[in-house]
Homo-oligomer: A and B are copies of this chain.
């Protein structure tokens, strides 16, 4: 992989906030949404961070996103709620839902909050990880708009880099492997695990979308192509308060013991280490905090154009 120019986390947040403000989002919301977007970038979810900023701004300019939403919490039960995002930035809507779910879990041991009238919110891990600081566990669900979502890093990025997609990502309308990113519109993303993954995607769509009154199935708006129709995006977060089940420190020690066992496992031929979920993310955050976030030249060009359009200083000043 080529070495890309890097930008400090703080500088990236300031650039995103400036773009949001220039697009009409009030200062406090712009600052919060910028932090949430850069949280995807710093953790290595490169297809979900600033890479999406030009698309978000395009939608705002086209009138498809509410820059001054009244985000409301609808609570009809003690430990459950719905957050109505009033078509605001997805990050602000989901962050509000997570805050509410953490409060509900603190009171009740578990809290479940769904969203509707939100938008694309960036990397799921950003939100699922938030409860951890409160000694809580987060489970995050989102409507799988699988026929619309570009693969990791975005089809555009693959195209700019002249790369193909590996087999198993997409199939075409004849069921054949589709590896040419320029043909992405002709095919469908495949779920993990064949029919079992398809069942999971359906279940998550019902929990994160239909249950909250958000779009699911044919109602899902392809936000990569349509900048004006409100997406009515739905997500759901379930938060468990560890102390309702176990003493948090003892629980963490037991989790560590399981992790150590897995790391101690014998390796299959062809593998040089055991990878566990969240570890790469953890290392990437440390590395990018220290050395900055790499910005490929194609992305830098797109962000330079955005800066010009919005009359804000460029990312690399």
B112 near A240 (CB under 8 angstroms)? yes
Instruction: Return the chain B residue nearest A107 by Cβ.
Output: B78
How many interface residues does A have (CB within 8 Å)? 60
B79 near A218 (CB under 8 angstroms)? no
Provide the residues of chain B in CB contact with A107, threshold 8 Å: 78
In A243-274, the 8 Å CB interface with B consists of: 243-246, 251, 254-255, 257-258, 261-262, 266, 268-270
Known: A111-B110, A217-B257, A251-B210. A245 touches B76 (CB 8 A): yes
Known: A206-B255, A258-B205. A269 touches B175 (CB 8 A): yes
A159 CB → nearest B CB, Å: 25
A110 near B79 (CB under 8 angstroms)? yes
Best-buried of A76, A80, A112, A245 by chain B (most CB within 10 Å) = A245
What string of 1s and 0s marks CB contacts (under 8 Å) between A269-282 and chain B?
11000011100000
A274 CB → nearest B CB, Å: 10
B244 near A80 (CB under 8 angstroms)? yes
- Choice from B217, B246, B258, B262 contacting A262 with Cβ under 8 Å: B217
A109 near B109 (CB under 8 angstroms)? no
Provide the residues of chain B in CB contact with A207, threshold 8 Å: 137, 240
A108 CB–B CB distance under 8 Å: yes
Known: A107-B78, A108-B78, A210-B258. A197 touches B192 (CB 8 A): yes
A203 CB–B CB distance under 8 Å: yes
- Choice from B112, B191, B246, B262 contacting A211 with Cβ under 8 Å: B246
Known: A192-B192, A254-B210. A238 touches B241 (CB 8 A): no
Provide the residues of chain B in CB contact with A194, threshold 8 Å: 192
Name A residues whose Cβ lies closer than 8 Å to a Cβ of B.
76-80, 82, 107-112, 114, 137, 171, 173-175, 191-197, 199, 202-203, 205-207, 210-213, 216-218, 238, 240-246, 251, 254-255, 257-258, 261-262, 266, 268-270, 275-277
Excluding A137-B211, A192-B196, 11 further A-B contacts by CB distance (< 8 Å) are A76-B245, A77-B108, A77-B110, A79-B108, A80-B110, A80-B241, A108-B108, A192-B194, A199-B277, A202-B258, A210-B258
